[in-house]
């Protein structure tokens, strides 16, 4: 994942090409560092963007990202909605 000035967006690079991410997707994936929990990512996003109740949206996006192979669950992580 990297920021492309020409695209003015975060992108995921693949051997076959790239995926241009919208702003929300880029902000979520930038925080997927293998250290933060989903709850930590949600909390950081809510604080950074002065928003509340982002949990369901973040989980929905991460489920799509996991299905597409963009992220993987850490060993021992819950498979869905549990953000504890």
Q: Which of the two residues, 78 and 9, has the higher pLDDT score?
A: 9
Is residue 76 assigned to a domain?
A: no
pLDDT at 78 over 70: no
What mean pLDDT do residues 54-77 have?
A: 90
DSSP string spanning 58-69? Answer: HHHHHHHHHHTT
pLDDT at 75: 74
The C-alpha atoms of residue 28 and residue 31 are separated, in whole angstroms, by: 5
Residue 73 included in any domain: no
pLDDT level of residue 83 (50, 70, 90 thresholds):
very low
Q: Is residue 28 part of a domain?
A: yes
**H runs (alpha helix) in 1-84:** 23-30, 38-49, 55-67
Please tell me the pTM assigned to this model.
Answer: 0.84
pLDDT more than 70, % of the chain: 89
Confirm whether 21 is domain-assigned.
yes
Q: Does a structural domain hold residue 75?
A: no
Q: What is the CATH number of the domain that holds 28?
A: 1.10.10.1150
């Amino acid at each position: 994942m990297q920021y492309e000035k020409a695209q003015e967006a975060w992108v995921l690079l693949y051997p076959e090409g790239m995926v241009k991410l919208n702003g929300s997707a880029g902000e979520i994936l930038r925080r997927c560092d293998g250290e933060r929990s989903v709850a930590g990512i949600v909390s950081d996003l809510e604080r950074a963007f002065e928003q509340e109740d982002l949990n369901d949206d973040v989980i929905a996006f991460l489920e799509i990202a996991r299905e597409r192979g963009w992220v993987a669950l850490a060993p021992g992580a819950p498979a869905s909605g549990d953000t504890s």
